[in-house]
């Protein structure tokens, strides 16, 4: 049995140890906000955070997660439903079309802005090009990333979390 | 039309629910029998278009599939506009497929349902406004009766009926019981004039925006039903192959695998119900099903297409163009005009097979019992899903319930319901409620691909630079291959559209078709053959301009000429006005500073197209390095879709279609060797990435008149030619084969 934490809750999994985190989240925990798309870590639709860093959950076997902490899109907003700066920016720019890749885009951006709080377009190109969008929402994603950085800085200046 | 109108009137019957809300939608007799059927995810689902609560909250039913085009927002905007309510008081509920058995078949219960051909909005434009206006009129009549004044003396403001004579106003929520008792008159109340719109034409967020950024939005693959099991299919690596035998000993030992059995596809060459035979694995989880498939040993009969290859297909196309094909359009006297031309230019262009690849792979929930079938599917055509399930189960369609989920991308892939047929086959055989899941390699190797073809254009130009003769000759695999009831002599109709530019702009004009074949299934891919034809025609125009010493923009403007309405019998008719293209071309040229001298290695390309009722033009600025690396520096895109009902979504569609066009132009191609599709996932079938798309990207909506046209597809056809024309302007290298791939690097190195 493998025990780890998902969105602040302790979970235990006693199925096949090679089961990718993606399917543990989706089929067993019914956290379906994390999406299946390529299954080979090529598209980023299934990105979650493992110990605070972006990871493609289709390539993370559950056996590697013992004692670790996972955050999914469902766990990103604050406990009172306060949206994360990235989610706020995504809403402002109404980024999504079909929306299927957007959980991965948002989770990837949260990690990216943590590493590049004031990103340039070149930083975005270099770091966000691994997350694919078939609808082609990249124009708005770029704007939303810059906006999220602004919101995060403003929130930081006001001393809030 | 009469029949459609009658059915609309039948749909619009008002009543009250048990909870006291005013509802308008399905016949009133249904209201008493509870709040209709249970729906997806255990929610109650109600087939009403409008529901007004005592508190004034309004729920508007969305009858169409949402594939990312914004129809779940745009159609309710039409209802809310005419109903006259605050948009902030509106929420949206997805309606299921509604069909009713009639004496001679089936008819729609909630109006036609299905999204394809850019018709989601236009086909509901009148209907949805009438729904809203009718509901508003009922409330006005209820208020007038209560105040004892004529209905004509009442009007509304958002959420309230006002009576000028008495100075009173009554909230909608206080009128619902009275309104529910009134019969709906036959006559449709007058609709608003465009100048009075408060919601239509204004920028609104997608109704599901918050659910989409919090992971709450439910797609097909997110379906959860009691006792649901999971299924995958082992598919033949060769087109039209089938299992000769299989050994499931190891597969059945995988923990969680419940059942393994063959499913039967159509005979090669027959119309598709599903694509081909395979072996289904049913398990307690998706991962167990996938592992079961890995452990399964299948002896495949490679079938009749084992010798197919792309190389052979393209060689055959070349050979065909050396002969004479089926002349399908022949205006004027082409040969004589060509004989007297001062300059003749001839070029060939190659457009590959491409795949849809929506981010959500194909999937479907099905539960088949003796009497009923329940399907929950991400589909563009729920009625097709119902027919597919009926064909598999033999059940009458009124016993088949189809619920629609949000769809993780359509692009034409989900006009085909083969995956619904597969899911019902698996549920029927196993007796279990199952969710069929396609993996990405299933999706890449088993698609209804956009047909590939080799085009030749030859044109004659006179001494003044006027184009006097034009022929387009195409050898391709028609999209209508293996379609039922299509005669061979009509296969060309899916590939060449005679009403498109430049027929009627060049007097002596000929279209010629050669049907080639290969075992790849074919289907509609966003803006079908317009993508190929616009690439070819808009590239050739550029070449023609350069060959005859003319400016590419001026040549286009001269050919298009004055604004006028031309008859157009294809999708998006009945008319085509070239003046609207002229306006867009002039606009984008100005925005991108077309006439400004660029530094060496930089160039501008332009292109424009009309389809599905909409007009679009693109200008791109590209930089090319000495080693052939290139970069799109700037994009100006413009669309004329008549009245933009939901401008936020129109802009998004134009942005997305542009990226889609760039994706396909840069690197997408499906190839076949030994009868097998060579690509399998995003590493060898690449999508454009954020780094491919410049930050300097303008998307403009140019308004025209007061009626909307289609939006979802027109944004894509001009993209590839604008890009390759820009590459030529920057480098002198002409790309005549898509995708661009490494051609520019090779040309610059050579």
Q: Does residue B4 register a pLDDT over 80?
A: no
- How much is the average pLDDT of B387-396? 97
How do residues B417-442 score in pLDDT, each as one tens digit? 999 999 999 999 999 999 999 999 99
CA distance B426 to chain A (A): 19
- pLDDT score, position B56: 87
Are residue A10 and residue A62 in the same domain, yes or no? yes
Q: Tell me whether residue A116 is in a domain.
A: yes
Return the C-alpha torsion angle B470, B476, B481, B486, nearest 10: 20
Are residue B190 and residue B255 in the same domain, yes or no? no
CA distance A14 to chain B (A): 12
Per-residue DSSP letter, A26: I
For residues B519 and A61, give the distance between their C-alpha atoms in angstroms, rounded to a whole number: 38
Q: Tell me whether residue B616 is in a domain.
A: yes
Q: Would the CB atoms of B214 and A33 count as touching at under 8 Å? A: yes
Q: Tell me whether residue A36 is in a domain.
A: yes
Q: Which residues of B touch A34 (CB under 8 A)?
A: 215
Are residue B648 and residue B745 in the same domain, yes or no? yes
CA distance B277 to chain A (A): 23
Residue A109 phi, psi (nearest 5): -65, -40
Are residue B608 and residue B664 in the same domain, yes or no? yes
Q: Would the CB atoms of A19 and B287 count as touching at under 8 Å? A: yes
Are residue B406 and residue B474 in the same domain, yes or no? no
- pLDDT score, position A1: 93
Domain containing B276 — which CATH number?
3.30.365.10
- How much is the average pLDDT of B557-583? 94
Q: Would the CB atoms of A90 and B219 count as touching at under 8 Å? A: no
Are residue B568 and residue B523 in the same domain, yes or no? yes
Containing structural domain, residue A121: 85-157
What total number of domains does chain A contain?
2
CA distance B148 to chain A (A): 46
- pLDDT score, position B26: 55
- How much is the average pLDDT of B348-375? 98
Q: Examine the fold and report which residue of A53, A75, A97 is the final residue of a domain before the chain moves on.
A: A75
For residues B217 and A77, give the distance between their C-alpha atoms in angstroms, rounded to a whole number: 15
CA distance A114 to chain B (A): 18
Are residue A107 and residue A147 in the same domain, yes or no? yes
Are residue B468 and residue B430 in the same domain, yes or no? no
For residues B474 and B491, give the distance between their C-alpha atoms in angstroms, rounded to a whole number: 12
For residues B511 and B712, give the distance between their C-alpha atoms in angstroms, rounded to a whole number: 27
Per cent of chain B over pLDDT 70 is 94
Q: Tell me whether residue A54 is in a domain.
A: yes
CA distance A47 to chain B (A): 12
Q: Examine the fold and report which residue of B437, B466, B492 is the final residue of a domain before the chain moves on.
A: B437
Pairing label, strands B434-437, B229-235: parallel
Q: Tell me whether residue B312 is in a domain.
A: no
Are residue B196 and residue B81 in the same domain, yes or no? yes
Residue B401 phi, psi (nearest 5): -100, 130
Containing structural domain, residue B534: 324-354+448-749
Q: Tell me whether residue B314 is in a domain.
A: no
**Residue to substitute from B66, B212, B679, interface A, most A β-carbons within 10 A:** B212
- How much is the average pLDDT of B472-485? 95
More confident call, A148 vs B63 = A148
Domain containing A47 — which CATH number?
3.10.20.30
For residues B147 and B167, give the distance between their C-alpha atoms in angstroms, rounded to a whole number: 10
Pairing label, strands B363-368, B614-624: unpaired
Q: Tell me whether residue B382 is in a domain.
A: yes
By Cβ distance, the residue of B224, B286, B659 closest to A136 is B659
Q: Tell me whether residue A93 is in a domain.
A: yes
DSSP class per residue in B612-652: TTEEEEEEEEEEE-TTS-EEEEEEEEEEE-BS-SSHHHHHH
More confident call, B6 vs B657 = B657
Q: Worst-scoring range by mean pLDDT, A87-91, B162-166, B229-233?
A: B162-166
Helical pair B125-147 and B71-83, crossing angle rounded to 10 deg? 30
Are residue B385 and residue B479 in the same domain, yes or no? no
- pLDDT score, position B20: 66
Q: For residues B690 and A142, is the Cβ–Cβ distance under 8 A?
A: yes
Neighbours of B549 (CB within 10 A): 8
Are residue A67 and residue A95 in the same domain, yes or no? no
Q: Tell me whether residue B13 is in a domain.
A: yes
Q: Tell me whether residue A21 is in a domain.
A: yes
User: Which among B259, B221, B244, B256 has a CA at the least distance from the CA of B297?
Assistant: B244
More confident call, B383 vs B123 = B383
- pLDDT score, position B118: 82
User: Which among B580, B299, B592, B328 has a CA at the least distance from the CA of B474?
Assistant: B328
For residues A126 and B249, give the distance between their C-alpha atoms in angstroms, rounded to a whole number: 47
Q: Which two tokens stand for residue B427?
A: 């549920």
User: Which among B528, B561, B163 has a CA at the least distance from the CA of B353?
Assistant: B528
Q: Examine the fold and report which residue of A15, A41, A75 is the final residue of a domain before the chain moves on.
A: A75
- How much is the average pLDDT of B291-315? 98
For residues A129 and A139, give the distance between their C-alpha atoms in angstroms, rounded to a whole number: 13
Q: Would the CB atoms of B359 and A35 count as touching at under 8 Å? A: yes
Most distant pair of Cα atoms in chain A: their distance: 46
**Residue to substitute from B41, B214, B355, interface A, most A β-carbons within 10 A:** B214
How do residues B605-635 score in pLDDT, each as one tens digit? 999 999 999 999 999 999 999 999 999 999 9
Are residue B630 and residue B708 in the same domain, yes or no? yes
- pLDDT score, position B47: 55
Q: Examine the fold and report which residue of B437, B462, B486 is the final residue of a domain before the chain moves on.
A: B437
How do residues B175-189 score in pLDDT, each as one tens digit? 988 888 888 888 889
Question: How far, in whole angstroms, is CA B584 from its chain's centroid?
Answer: 23
Q: Tell me whether residue A148 is in a domain.
A: yes
Q: For residues A111 and A119, is the Cβ–Cβ distance under 8 A?
A: no
Q: Tell me whether residue B146 is in a domain.
A: yes
Q: Would the CB atoms of A139 and B697 count as touching at under 8 Å? A: yes
**Residue to substitute from B67, B221, B690, interface A, most A β-carbons within 10 A:** B690
Q: Would the CB atoms of B221 and A32 count as touching at under 8 Å? A: yes
| B350 strand-pairing partners | B454, B737
CA distance A117 to chain B (A): 18
Q: Would the CB atoms of B688 and A131 count as touching at under 8 Å? A: no
Determine if residue B434 is left, alpha or beta; phi over 0 gives left, psi from -120 to 50 gives alpha, anything else beta: beta
By Cβ distance, the residue of A30, A128, A137 closest to B656 is A137
Q: Worst-scoring range by mean pLDDT, A152-161, B121-130, B330-339?
A: A152-161
For residues B700 and B640, give the distance between their C-alpha atoms in angstroms, rounded to a whole number: 9
Are residue A58 and residue A102 in the same domain, yes or no? no
Per-residue DSSP letter, A106: H
Residues B605, B608, B609: CA angle, nearest 5 degrees: 150
- pLDDT score, position B40: 32
Q: Tell me whether residue A64 is in a domain.
A: yes
Q: Which residues of A touch B256 (CB under 8 A)?
A: 15-16
Q: Worst-scoring range by mean pLDDT, A139-143, B54-58, B188-192, B313-317?
A: B54-58
What ipTM score was computed for the predicted complex, to two decimals? 0.97
Are residue B368 and residue B348 in the same domain, yes or no? no
Cα nearest neighbour of B378 on chain A: A98
Cα nearest neighbour of A27 on chain B: B285
For residues B599 and B597, give the distance between their C-alpha atoms in angstroms, rounded to a whole number: 7
Are residue B410 and residue B510 in the same domain, yes or no? no
How do residues B245-287 score in pLDDT, each as one tens digit? 999 999 999 999 999 999 999 999 999 999 999 999 999 999 9
The answer to pTM > 0.90 is yes
User: Which among B716, B650, B699, B564 has a CA at the least distance from the CA of B122?
Assistant: B650
Q: For residues B136 and B84, is the Cβ–Cβ distance under 8 A?
A: yes
Which residues touch A93 (CB under 8 Å, ≥6 apart)?
A140, A143, A144, A147
Q: Does residue A160 register a pLDDT over 60?
A: no
Q: Examine the fold and report which residue of B395, B416, B437 is the final residue of a domain before the chain moves on.
A: B437
Are residue A68 and residue A10 in the same domain, yes or no? yes
Are residue A106 and residue A138 in the same domain, yes or no? yes
- pLDDT score, position B27: 46
The H or E element containing residue B514 is: strand B508-515
Q: Would the CB atoms of B221 and A130 count as touching at under 8 Å? A: no
- How much is the average pLDDT of B474-499? 95
Q: Would the CB atoms of B655 and A134 count as touching at under 8 Å? A: no
Average pLDDT of chain B? 92
Q: Would the CB atoms of A98 and B67 count as touching at under 8 Å? A: yes
CA distances from residue B386 to A154, B373, B377, B421, B664 in whole angstroms, order as listed: 52, 9, 10, 9, 32
Q: Tell me whether residue A80 is in a domain.
A: no
- pLDDT score, position B110: 81
Most distant pair of Cα atoms in chain B: their distance: 87
Q: Examine the fold and report which residue of A50, A75, A100 is the final residue of a domain before the chain moves on.
A: A75
pLDDT band (50, 70, 90) for residue B750: confident
Are residue A99 and residue A138 in the same domain, yes or no? yes
Which residues touch B674 (CB under 8 Å, ≥6 apart)?
B238, B306, B307, B308, B309
How do residues B22-52 score in pLDDT, each as one tens digit? 777 654 333 333 333 333 333 333 457 888 8
Q: Tell me whether residue B721 is in a domain.
A: yes
Are residue A92 and residue A152 in the same domain, yes or no? yes
Are residue A16 and residue A62 in the same domain, yes or no? yes
What total number of domains does chain B contain?
3
- pLDDT score, position B570: 85
For residues B185 and A114, give the distance between their C-alpha atoms in angstroms, rounded to a whole number: 61
Q: Tell me whether residue B311 is in a domain.
A: no
Are residue B468 and residue B413 in the same domain, yes or no? no
């Amino acid at each position: 049995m493998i025990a780890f934490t998902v969105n602040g809750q302790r979970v235990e999994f006693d199925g096949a140890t090679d089961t990718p985190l993606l399917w543990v989240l989706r089929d067993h925990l019914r956290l379906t906000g994390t999406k299946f798309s390529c299954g080979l870590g090529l598209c980023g639709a299934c990105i979650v955070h493992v110990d605070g860093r972006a990871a493609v959950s289709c390539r993370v076997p559950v056996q590697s997660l013992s004692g670790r902490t996972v955050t999914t899109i469902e766990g990103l907003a604050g406990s009172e439903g306060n949206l994360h700066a990235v989610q706020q920016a995504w809403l402002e720019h109404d980024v999504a079309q079909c929306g299927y890749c957007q959980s991965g885009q948002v989770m990837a951006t949260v990690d990216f802005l943590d590493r590049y709080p004031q990103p340039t377009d070149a930083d975005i190109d270099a770091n966000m090009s691994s997350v694919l969008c078939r609808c082609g929402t990249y124009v708005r994603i770029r704007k939303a990333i810059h906006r999220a950085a602004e919101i995060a800085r403003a929130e930081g200046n006001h001393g809030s979390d | 039309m009469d029949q459609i109108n009658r059915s609309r009137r039948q749909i619009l019957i008002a009543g009250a629910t048990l909870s006291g809300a005013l509802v308008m939608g399905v016949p009133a007799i249904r209201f008493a029998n509870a709040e209709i059927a249970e729906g997806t995810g255990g929610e109650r689902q109600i087939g009403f278009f409008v529901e007004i609560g005592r508190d004034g909250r309004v729920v508007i039913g969305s009858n169409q599939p949402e594939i990312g085009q914004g129809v779940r927002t745009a159609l309710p905007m039409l209802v809310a506009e005419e109903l006259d309510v605050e948009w902030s008081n509106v929420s949206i509920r997805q309606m299921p497929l509604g069909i009713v058995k009639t004496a001679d078949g089936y008819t729609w219960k909630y109006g036609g349902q299905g999204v394809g051909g850019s018709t989601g909005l236009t086909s509901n434009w009148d209907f949805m406004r009438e729904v809203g206006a009718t509901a508003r009129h009922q409330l006005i009549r209820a208020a007038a009766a209560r105040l004892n004044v004529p209905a004509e003396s009442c009007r509304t403001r958002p959420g309230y009926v006002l009576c000028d004579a008495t100075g009173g106003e009554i909230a909608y929520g206080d009128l619902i019981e009275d309104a529910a008792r009134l019969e709906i008159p036959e006559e449709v109340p007058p609709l608003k004039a465009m100048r009075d719109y408060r919601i239509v034409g204004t920028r609104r967020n997608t109704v599901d925006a918050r659910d989409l950024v919090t992971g709450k939005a439910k797609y097909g693959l997110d379906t959860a039903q009691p006792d649901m099991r999971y299924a995958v299919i082992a598919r033949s690596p060769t087109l039209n192959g089938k299992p000769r035998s299989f050994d499931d000993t190891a597969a059945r030992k995988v923990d969680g695998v419940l059942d393994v059995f063959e499913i039967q596809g159509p005979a090669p060459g027959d119309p598709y119900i599903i694509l081909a035979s395979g072996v289904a694995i049913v398990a307690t989880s998706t991962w167990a099903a996938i592992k079961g498939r890995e452990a399964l040993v299948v002896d495949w009969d490679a079938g009749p297409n084992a010798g197919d290859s792309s190389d052979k297909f393209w060689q055959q196309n070349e050979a065909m163009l050396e002969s004479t094909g089926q002349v399908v359009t022949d205006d004027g006297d082409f040969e004589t005009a060509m004989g007297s031309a001062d300059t003749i230019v001839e070029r060939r262009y190659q457009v590959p097979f491409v795949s849809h690849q929506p981010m959500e792979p194909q999937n479907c929930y099905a539960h088949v019992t003796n009497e009923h079938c329940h399907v929950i599917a991400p589909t563009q055509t729920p009625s097709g899903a119902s027919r597919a399930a009926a064909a598999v189960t033999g059940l009458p369609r009124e016993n088949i319930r189809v619920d629609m989920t949000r769809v993780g991308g359509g692009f034409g892939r989900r006009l085909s319901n083969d995956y619904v047929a597969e899911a019902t086959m698996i549920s029927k055989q196993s007796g279990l409620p199952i969710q069929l899941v396609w993996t990405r390699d299933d999706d890449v190797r088993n698609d209804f691909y956009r047909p590939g073809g080799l085009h030749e254009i030859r044109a004659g130009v006179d001494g003044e630079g006027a184009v006097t003769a034009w022929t387009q000759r195409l050898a391709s695999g028609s999209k209508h291959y293996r379609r039922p009831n299509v005669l061979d002599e009509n296969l060309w109709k899916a590939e060449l559209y005679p009403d498109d530019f430049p027929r009627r702009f060049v007097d002596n004009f000929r279209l010629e078709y050669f049907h080639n074949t290969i075992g790849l299934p074919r289907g509609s891919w966003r803006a079908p053959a317009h993508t190929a034809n616009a690439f070819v025609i808009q590239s050739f125009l550029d070449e023609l301009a350069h060959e005859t010493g003319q400016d590419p923009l001026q040549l286009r403007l001269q050919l298009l000429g004055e604004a006028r309405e031309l008859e157009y019998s294809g999708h998006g008719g009945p008319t085509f006005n070239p003046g609207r293209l002229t306006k867009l071309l002039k606009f984008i040229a100005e925005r991108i500073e077309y006439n400004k001298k660029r530094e060496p290695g930089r160039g501008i390309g332009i292109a424009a197209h009309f389809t599905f009722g909409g007009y679009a033009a693109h200008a791109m600025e590209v930089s090319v390095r000495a080693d052939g690396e290139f970069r799109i520096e700037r994009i100006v895109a413009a669309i004329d879709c008549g009245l933009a009902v939901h401008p936020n979504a129109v802009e998004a569609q134009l942005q997305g279609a542009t990226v889609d066009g760039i994706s396909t132009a840069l690197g997408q191609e499906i190839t076949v060797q030994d009868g097998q599709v060579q690509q399998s996932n995003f590493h060898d079938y690449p999508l454009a990435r954020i780094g491919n798309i410049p930050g300097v990207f303008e998307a403009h909506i140019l308004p025209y008149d007061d009626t909307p046209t289609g939006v979802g597809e027109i944004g894509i056809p001009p993209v590839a030619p604008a890009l390759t024309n820009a590459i030529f302007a920057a480098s002198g290298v002409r790309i005549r084969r898509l995708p661009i791939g490494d051609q520019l690097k090779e040309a610059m190195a050579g």
